[in-house]
Amino acid sequence: MTRPSPVSQSLRAWMDVFMHRSMRNWHNFAKSAGLSMPQFSILMQLHHKGACGVSEIGERFDITNAAASQLVDKLVQSGYVERGEDPSDRRAKVLKLTSSGQALIERGGQERHRWMDDLVKSLSADEQKQVSEALDILTDAAQRMEEKT
């Protein structure tokens, strides 16, 4: 058992402080929009990764294509997702957020992150710069790791 590095410890501390609160915000927002968690997760997924097919949804969430198809269908009927044809493969569908879906995700982001603005305001200008740069480094690294999986 190797000891975790200082960075890992900082990361864990950060996570422990904020995980619970953010999770609850996220869940409550989905619920208030009349969406189940799986449904909202799909919207998040489309927002993050852009348009994709039904099978990719299934793979991401480790469910069958049947389940993915059914979930997507509900989102289509709710007006949050557009299910278009793929011109290069007439079997495939192209799923993308509608403007309504986009707006929902953005509104969720605003609500979930409002407390972050207050947090940022409590920092000095120098601290803000430092934090900003460091978080960009982390975000880039995390996205690179995500792509590799």
Partner DNA sequence: GCATATAGTTCAGCCCGCTTAACTACCAAG
Partner DNA sequence: CTTGGTAGTTAAGCGGGCTGAACTATATGC
Question: Using an 8 Å Cβ cutoff, are 12 and 4 in contact?
Answer: yes
Of the pair 39, 104, the CB lying nearest DNA is at 39
103 contact choice in its own copies, DNA, none (CB below 5 to 8 Å, kind-dependent): none
List the one residue out of 109, 94, 105 whose CA is nearest residue 39. 105
Choose, by CB under 7 A, the member of 29, 43, 46, 53 that binds DNA. Answer: 53
**CA–CA dist 68, 52 (Å, integer):** 12
**Residue 96: CB minimum distance to its own copies, A:** 18
Binding of DNA at residue 54 (CB under 7 A)? yes
Contact flags string 81-120 toward its own copies, x per CB under 8 A: ----------------------------x--xx--xxxxx
Other CB atoms closer than 10 Å to residue 135's CB: what's the count?
Answer: 10
**CA–CA dist 45, 97 (Å, integer):** 10
Question: Using an 8 Å Cβ cutoff, are 96 and 51 in contact?
Answer: yes
Of the pair 64, 130, the CB lying nearest its own copies is at 130
CA torsion sign, 4 to 5 to 8 to 14? Answer: positive
Contact flags string 57-96 toward DNA, x per CB under 7 A: ----xxxxxxxxxxxxxx--------x--x--xxxxx---
Contact residues for DNA (CB under 7 A)? 36, 38-39, 53-56, 61-74, 83, 86, 89-93
